[in-house]
Structure 1
Amino acid sequence: MYKAGETVRYWGVKTGGLTWLSAEAMIGKVIGQQREERSYKIEGLSGTIHDVPEKLIEGGSEVKAG
């Protein structure tokens, strides 16, 4: 489980019911959680907000933004 404000690495996003995977990790900050969907709202480095399934997220203190 990830907390609001935590910086994480994620490998894809969910858009319009489809999950788009990325070959490269993206970094963003958790801004919210959707428990019933097991996903998180993550603000990317560009400022865009994405829905990210929990299984596509890596967290931890080693992740640094910028």
Structure 2
Amino acid sequence: MYKAGETVRYWGVKTGGLTWLSAEALIGKIIGQQREERIYKIEGQSGAIYDVPENLIDGGSEVKAG
């Protein structure tokens, strides 16, 4: 489980019921979560907010943004 404010790598996002995968890791900050669905709200480096399933999140405190 990840904590709010933690910087993580993620490999895709969920939008409109579909999961979009990325060939390269993206970096963002956890800003919230939906526990029952195991989905985290992540603010990407562009400032956009994404829903990311827990199984697409990698890393934790060792991830450095920028």
Under TM normalisation by the shorter chain, which class is it? over 0.9
Query: Structure 2: any 5+ residue segments left out of the alignment?
Result: none
Q: What displacement does 1:32 show? A: 0.1
RMSD: 0.6
Task: Calculate percent identity across the aligned residue pairs.
Answer: 88
Q: Look up the match of 1:28.
A: 28
In 1, Cα distance between the equivalents of 2:61 and 2:36? Answer: 26
In 2, Cα distance between the equivalents of 1:31 and 1:56? Answer: 16
In 2, Cα distance between the equivalents of 1:60 and 1:42? Answer: 13
Letter in 2 for 1:7: T
TM-score when normalising by structure 2: 0.97
Aligned residues: 66
Letter in 2 for 1:16: G
Stretch of structure 1 that moved more, 56-65 or 21-30: 56-65
Deviations 1:15-59 (A, max 9, x none): 000000000000000000100111100000000000000000012
Q: Look up the match of 2:45.
A: 45
TM-score when normalising by structure 1: 0.97
In 2, Cα distance between the equivalents of 1:37 and 1:55? Answer: 11
